[in-house]
Structure 1
Amino acid sequence: MLKFYLANATRPRRIALGVFAAAITLCAVPRMQAADKQSDEETLQKANLVLSGMLAGDTIPADVLARTKCVVVVPGMKKFGVGIGGSGGRGPMLCREGDDFKGKWSTPAMMTIGGASIGVQLGGSSTDLVLLVMEKKVVNQILSGKTKMGTDATAAAGPSGATAGGAADADVYSYGRAKGMFAGVSISGATVSPDNDANNRLYTDNPDASSIVRGTSVKPTPAGQKLVTLLDNKTAAKAKSSAGKPK
């Protein structure tokens, strides 16, 4: 419709209409960016609910969490394709501060994950996923670029309950929930990489994933702070419990 008016308008009128169209476009950009950032915040909120459920139900043992370097939470990972298929989703990654990864939990950086058949394994088209990164070298790999589970890092279904002590060593442990059921799941073949677009929307100034989770200058958003507080409280409770046990 605008093209019709421009084609049939006088030159002054065409100029006025062009300015009007440009103004509409410029006004629309902030609203589009705000909507995208709101979606990112909602992903952080959903991730908090997923992780709260797994920690409250001891699906993820406190002993295992205490040894974890970083946590990745992907709420509502969607299944696609036919046959074996695959899955894709995104969510936050948080790491413990310090060279020894024993400090408080960091500001979350957004990540993407794809290529795994998680939904098929748990019998659902949408699966909540939590990854525990146990090795420093794998943390560096993930923050630097795309990391494939089973190729660039060893991955295993996460231990729970009484099996935690005898779990096989792995670089990454994974847990899933579909249709209300929690379980350790295999994610061999899945790829994990930083979501740079989402991180720029959340924090501006285009920070990379490493500066978000390994630095201290990028501060969490309100939804991200809830995740930080959840993990800080859980690890603090475990530390207090361990300190009270006789040696």
Structure 2
Amino acid sequence: MLTKKLLSFFLFTIFSCQISTASADDYTDIQALVDQSTILMKSFGDDPEMTWFQHNIQYAKAVFIVPQMLKAGFFIGGSGGSGVLLSRDMKTNIWSYPVFYSMGAVSFGLQIGGEASEIVLMVMTDKGMDSMLSTSFKLGADVTVAAGPLGQGAKAATADILAFARSKGAFLGVSIEGAIVNPRDKWNAAYYKQKVSPADIIIGNTTHNPQADALRTTMAEQSKLKTTKVSY
């Protein structure tokens, strides 16, 4: 009983700190997430282990970037992070302005330790795109997800979303399946200075913030047509 209480307190402390930081409706924090996403995408573009990602991002309908996903646990674990989604015009290779989301999960099973991960999700299908524009969805349940960078054969070839991650620290049993993704409406409103939905930003193209142009330019550079397609 004491162990369970200590565990609960441990998880509550870690994720309360993480969530309180990510939930502060402060423009500086929101812009910092955009800047961190830009740095992460440039890093993925230069990483020799991300060859598949680099040659196939041009086929993605959208990309969801989570610069820092925090996980911790001792048989019972939790994870949380904030990210941005940008969609791509398949004809012009012009990327949308970012939409802000949260992603989190509670997990059970063999998992010991803590971890900070950099996660990028490539949205490959219309179903995956529709889910991102919904009020909430669960990875692995509402949409299929497969791991990168080399994929998992047939599963990766048909998955709605492909997940790429780089981790720091030690963690057993890490998986983003079961994670719930929700739009951060307050962050979107604060960044664009008006109440907007993900569809308003992605499809309606009714909002703009020039401070996200560096990220959009980076996305366009990363997704330029490459002559070589790396297979699954």
Which protein has the bigger helix share?
A: 1
Match of 1:234 in 2: 222
CA distance in 2, matches of 1:188, 1:39: 27
Match of 1:205 in 2: 194
CA distance in 1, matches of 2:221, 2:28: 26
Q: Among 79, 82, 86, which residue is 1:87 paired with?
A: 79
RMSD between superposed Cα atoms in Å: 2.9
How far has the Cα of 1:62 moved from its partner? 2.9
Residues 1:126 and 2:116 are matched in the alignment = yes
Contact 1:132 1:173 in 2 (8 A): yes
How far has the Cα of 1:122 moved from its partner? 11
CA distance in 1, matches of 2:77, 2:40: 24
The SS at the match of 1:82 is: strand
Relative to 1, partners in 2 of residues 1:86 and 1:70: Cα closer, same or farther, differing over 3 Å?
A: same
Match of 1:170 in 2: 159
What amino acid maps onto 1:213 in structure 2?
A: I
Match of 2:16 in 1: none
Match of 2:17 in 1: none
Residues 1:141 and 2:131 are matched in the alignment = yes
What amino acid maps onto 2:60 in structure 1?
A: T
What amino acid maps onto 2:179 in structure 1?
A: A
The SS at the match of 2:43 is: helix
CA distance in 2, matches of 1:217, 1:46: 24
CA distance in 2, matches of 1:46, 1:242: 29
CA distance in 2, matches of 1:220, 1:180: 35
Contact 2:127 2:143 in 1 (8 A): no
Matches within 5 A, 1:64-103: 64-97=56-89, 103=93
CA distance in 1, matches of 2:191, 2:125: 27
Aligned residue pairs total: 197
The SS at the match of 2:214 is: helix
CA distance in 2, matches of 1:203, 1:213: 13
Match of 1:15 in 2: none
Contact 1:95 1:105 in 2 (8 A): yes
Q: Which has the larger radius of gyration?
A: 1
Matches within 5 A, 1:1-247: 36-58=26-48, 59=50, 60-97=52-89, 103-115=93-105, 124-160=114-150, 167-179=156-168, 186-222=175-211, 224-236=212-224, 239=225, 241-242=226-227
CA distance in 2, matches of 1:133, 1:74: 14
CA distance in 2, matches of 1:218, 1:212: 6
Contact 2:136 2:182 in 1 (8 A): yes
Which protein has the bigger strand share?
A: 2
How far has the Cα of 1:187 moved from its partner? 1.5
Relative to 1, partners in 2 of residues 1:85 and 1:121: Cα closer, same or farther, differing over 3 Å?
A: closer
How far has the Cα of 1:116 moved from its partner? 6.2
- 5+ residue gaps, structure 1, are 1-33
Contact 2:100 2:185 in 1 (8 A): yes
Contact 1:156 1:187 in 2 (8 A): no
CA distance in 1, matches of 2:218, 2:124: 19
Q: TM-score, normalised by structure 1?
A: 0.70
Relative to 1, partners in 2 of residues 1:231 and 1:123: Cα closer, same or farther, differing over 3 Å?
A: farther
How far has the Cα of 1:164 moved from its partner? 8.6
What amino acid maps onto 1:114 in structure 2?
A: G
Contact 2:93 2:220 in 1 (8 A): no
The SS at the match of 1:83 is: strand
- 5+ residue gaps, structure 2, are 1-23
